[in-house]
Amino acid sequence: MPSLLQFLTALAVPVLCLSGGACAQPIPSNASPTAKPQAARPKWQADAWLMTSFRGSGDGLHLAVSDDGKTWRDLDHIFLKPGVGSGLMRDPHLLRGPDGIFRLVWTTGWKDKGIGYASSTDLVNWSEQKYLPLFEDVPGTRTAWAPETVYDDAGGQYVITWSSDIEGRFPQTVSSERMNHRTYYVTTRDFQRFSKPQLLLDPGFDHIDTTLNKVGKQWIAVFKEGDRQQQKIWGALRWAVADDVLGPYTLMPQPLVQGQRAEGPTLLRQGDTTRLFVDFYSAGHYGVYETADWKRWTDVSLDVNVVQGQRHGTVLWVPPWLAKNLETAQADGKPATPQPVPPPILEGFTADPSIRVFGDTYYVYPTSDKPNWQTTDFSVWSSRNLVDWKKEKMVLDVAHDLKWANIEAWAPDAIVRNGQYYFYFCAGQRIGVATARSPLGPFKDALGKPLIEKGSGVQTNTIDPYPFIDDDGQAYLYYGNGKIANVVRLKPDMVTLDGPPAGIPLNQFREGIVVFKRGGKYYFMWSIDDARSPDYRVGWGVADSPLGPVRSPDNHFIVLQKHGAAVGTAHHSVVNVPGTDRWYVAYHRHALPQGGGYQRQTALARMTFDGAGNIEPMDPLAAPFKPGDRGEPIVNGRAVTPYVTP
């Protein structure tokens, strides 16, 4: 890759100038744009990024991968060859939606009036390609270039943008020196039905390559002003801002990059830092600039090693496990039908859900996810039907409500006895108990100290409590993380241990034990593997006693595991609809479109049994209810009507 100064000298144009009027320093002519070598990957890598690209005139989808957003390595493979429109794939843009599906759009030809579209969940096996004839019926359309897709959370829809030059429009900027593009858009919820194309951005001049990025509460559009190539006047990279993704956009007075032959801007955000990648297309390399406030920019091209030959594409975050799979995965050779992941039942990032029914209401008590599991508080959600959920309030703040811990608030659960509600929880890797007169709390620490101290278990860590009251009135508290699960009897007051803990060996046990009774048998379920792993999953067994021993089946031992884009599907709990044999599982999965072991979502699945009482495998891609379903309402402690499986 030639240095920026060498490139500028060859073109005899000014150096980079950034917003606010500050100019970045030119790269020394003897500098080598080689990034520092990457450190060894941690076992549980938090981030990975992909950069899309094409080669030549548009041969297909190329991907490069990075662990840090700076050092990139080419995967040396065409992941999708174009087959619609004029047969090209240029400017490929990739977006992962909240349903876990990757959607790819691209320029299919220089003079096409539509764009290409395909979808995938793994970036290896793709749906059939479609040609979307966005402006096919609009007279005078000359182009449809550089499409991109963003998801509008507020509107619950996708927005596809692209640049078109349409004869007769914007006559005041018609010129023999350059074309006359503007940015247009359509909206869609399903990529089957689309709104009519409308104008998104008219800054008063020809422009292409618009990319949208949400920064805080504002949307920022970055785009390339058209070149005057005969005069060798190269259009600047400019930006505009709006409060809504559909505008109106206000043009900012200072360009981001000017005086250089650059196009195809794409943005990577890491925390508070935004990194702008620009394609110096005639010189065959990328420039990279960084900002924390969109006012002061730094040229970091020497610290970033983009793949040689990279052309106009997208940078996006992907799960590290998926990036790793791309290095060896092979397509199965037939069109895929990507399956969407059902939406979560709770808003925000939550994990380790406990689901209970008290009276005529269902409740979920989850962990409130924060980076590195440094959580400090618990909240509760309620529902009258398992379909419509409401966040009620915080029920316990360990940072302020406890004397013995202030962090690592994990995996709560609640149970009722004699009109009193007992809330068991982890804090500082110890187990506490709090009480309240309502399932909505607020819960007060019952002991002023842990119920179970750290290190007091049998070959286990003291986390993940699960209370259970048997038919004879005896209460038990199950817990554990490590080699074996633990159980301890509770006295009738529910806040005093009745004897020492006992170990319960469970097949492949890791954590998150759940116990319930059905048909005279005790069912045990638990989580396997690490919560940061996409293979986090649920196993099960049965016993004749609440103390075990537990027998696991030879077949269908794993009853909840990853499928498609739903991964990390475990740490669950179980609820029975009163008066029925209908059961549901609340569990967490890695959040979509971006998440992992520290950023998760709570979902719901229906759990069924075969004629022999075995738990049947659950599919995390199967929604328990259809849109418009009544769900499972309860009146006077019993289900209103039998649920009919669709």
Q: Which of the four pLDDT bands, split at 50, 70 and 90, describes residue 645?
A: low
* pTM as predicted: 0.91
What local confidence, expressed as pLDDT, does residue 35 receive? 43
Q: Give the whole-angstrom CA distance, residue 293 versus residue 615.
A: 53
Q: Name 377's bridge partners.
A: 397
Q: What confidence tier does 7 reach under pLDDT thresholds 50, 70, 90?
A: very low
Cis peptide before 248 (omega within 30 of 0): yes
Bridge partners, residue 23, by sequence: 17
Residue 395 in contact with residue 441, Cβ under 8 Å? yes
Percent of the chain with pLDDT over 70: 93
* Residue 232 exposure: Cα atoms within 13 Å on the Cβ side: 7
pLDDT over 90 (residue 193): yes
Q: Are 571 and 531 in contact (CB under 8 A)?
A: yes
Q: Average of pLDDT values for 107-111? A: 97
Q: Is 372 helix (H, G, I), strand (E, B) or coil?
A: helix
Do residues 286 and 277 lie in contact, with contact meaning Cβ atoms separated by under 8 Å? yes
SS3 category, 229: helix
Smallest Cα–Cα separation from 431: which of 493, 382, 501?
A: 501
Question: Which has the closest alpha carbon to 548: 499, 484, 594?
Answer: 484
Which contiguous run of DSSP H or E holds residue 413? strand 410-417
Q: Write down the pLDDT at residue 44.
A: 84
pLDDT band at 21 (very low <50, low <70, confident <90, very high): very low
Residue 109 near residue 87 (C-beta atoms within 8 A): yes
Closest CA to 306 of 283, 326, 322, 328: 283
| 352 annotated active-site | yes
What is the arithmetic mean of pLDDT over 391-419? 96
Please give the C-alpha separations between residue 45 and each of 33, 74, 510, 532, 564, in angstroms, as whole numbers: 26, 19, 20, 9, 20
Burial class (CB in 10 A: 0-12, 13-18, 19+), 159: buried
> For the chain, what are the domain ranges?
4-17+51-326, 350-625
Q: Are 280 and 7 in contact (CB under 8 A)?
A: yes
Q: Which residue has the higher pLDDT, 131 or 258?
A: 131
For residues 318-326, give the mean pLDDT.
96
Average pLDDT over residues 494-520: 97
Of 37 and 530, more confident = 530
Q: Is the pLDDT of residue 17 over 90?
A: no
Query: pLDDT value at position 41?
Result: 65
Q: Name the one residue in this structure whose structure tokens are 């981001």.
A: 256
CA distances from 274 to 241, 297, 485 (A): 15, 10, 45
Name the 3-class secondary structure at 19: helix
Return the biggest CA–CA distance within the chain.
Answer: 90
Write phi, then psi, for 62 (nearest 5 degrees): -105, 150
- What average pLDDT does the segment 186-204 reach? 97
279 an active-site residue? no
Could you tell me the two tokens for 277? 């990648």
Given the residues 112, 445, 511, 632, select the one marked as catalytic.
511
User: Which DSSP string do the residues of 517-530 spell out, in sequence order?
Assistant: EETTEEEEEEEES-
Whether the predicted pLDDT of 354 surpasses 60: yes
Q: Return the number of other C-beta atoms located less than 10 Å from residue 526's C-beta.
A: 29
Contacts of 293 (CB under 8 A, 6+ apart): none
Which residue carries 């080598």 as its tokens?
A: 32
One-letter amino acid at 516 equals F
- Residue 95 in tokens: 């977006």
| Span of 29-43, 90-104, 481-495, 599-613 with lowest mean pLDDT | 29-43
Mean pLDDT of 198-211: 97
In this chain, the answer to whether the domains covering 4-17+51-326 and 350-625 adopt an identical fold is yes
Q: Please, is 28 exposed, middle or buried when counting C-beta atoms within 10 Å of its C-beta (0-12, 13-18, 19+)?
A: exposed
pLDDT of residue 177: 87
Q: What is the per-residue pLDDT across 527-575, written as a single tens digit (0 to 9) for each?
A: 999 999 999 999 999 999 999 999 999 999 999 999 999 999 999 999 9
Task: Spell 204-214 as b/e; 16+ CB within 10 A means b.
Answer: ebbbbbbbbbe
pLDDT of residue 502: 96
Single-letter residue type at 282: S
Question: Residue 12 — pLDDT band, cuts 50, 70, 90?
Answer: very low
Tokens for 96, please give them. Answer: 């992962």
- pLDDT tens digits, residue range 235-253? 999 999 999 999 999 999 9
Q: What is the DSSP string of 35-103?
A: PPPPPPPPTT---EEEEEE--TTTB-EEEEEESSSSBEEEEEEEEE---STTS-BEEEEEEE-TTS-EE
Whole-angstrom distance, CA of residue 542 vs CA of residue 552: 7
What DSSP element (H or E) covers 6? helix 4-11
Token pair in block for residue 380: 């509760």
Under DSSP, is residue 404 helix (H, G, I), strand (E, B) or coil? coil
- Any idea which of 108-117, 238-247, 272-281 has the lowest mean pLDDT? 272-281
Burial class (CB in 10 A: 0-12, 13-18, 19+), 164: buried
What's the pLDDT score for residue 39?
Answer: 55
- Dihedral pair phi/psi, residue 437, rounded to 5°: -90, 0
- Domain 4-17+51-326 in CATH 2.115.10.20: yes
Condensed to tens digits (0 to 9), the pLDDT of residues 327-345 reads: 998 888 899 999 999 999 9
Averaged pLDDT score across all residues of the chain = 92
Model confidence over 145-175: pLDDT tens digits?
999 999 999 999 999 999 999 999 999 999 9
436-471, pLDDT tens digit by residue?
999 999 999 999 999 999 988 899 999 999 999 999
Pick the CATH number of 350-625 from 2.115.10.20, 3.40.190.80, 3.30.365.10, 1.20.1260.10: 2.115.10.20
Catalytic annotation, pick one of 352, 369, 408, 413: 352
* Identity of the amino acid at 395: V
Residue 305 DSSP one-character state: B
d(CA 179, CA 173): 9
Window from 36-40, 130-134, 557-561 with minimum mean pLDDT: 36-40
Give the distance, in angstroms, between the CA of residue 391 and the centroid of all CA atoms in the same chain. Answer: 21
Q: Would you place residue 281 in the very low, low, confident or very high pLDDT band (cuts 50, 70, 90)?
A: confident
Residue whose pair of structure tokens reads 């174009």 in the numeric block? 82
How far is the C-alpha of 119 from the C-alpha of 451, rounded, in Å?
Answer: 51
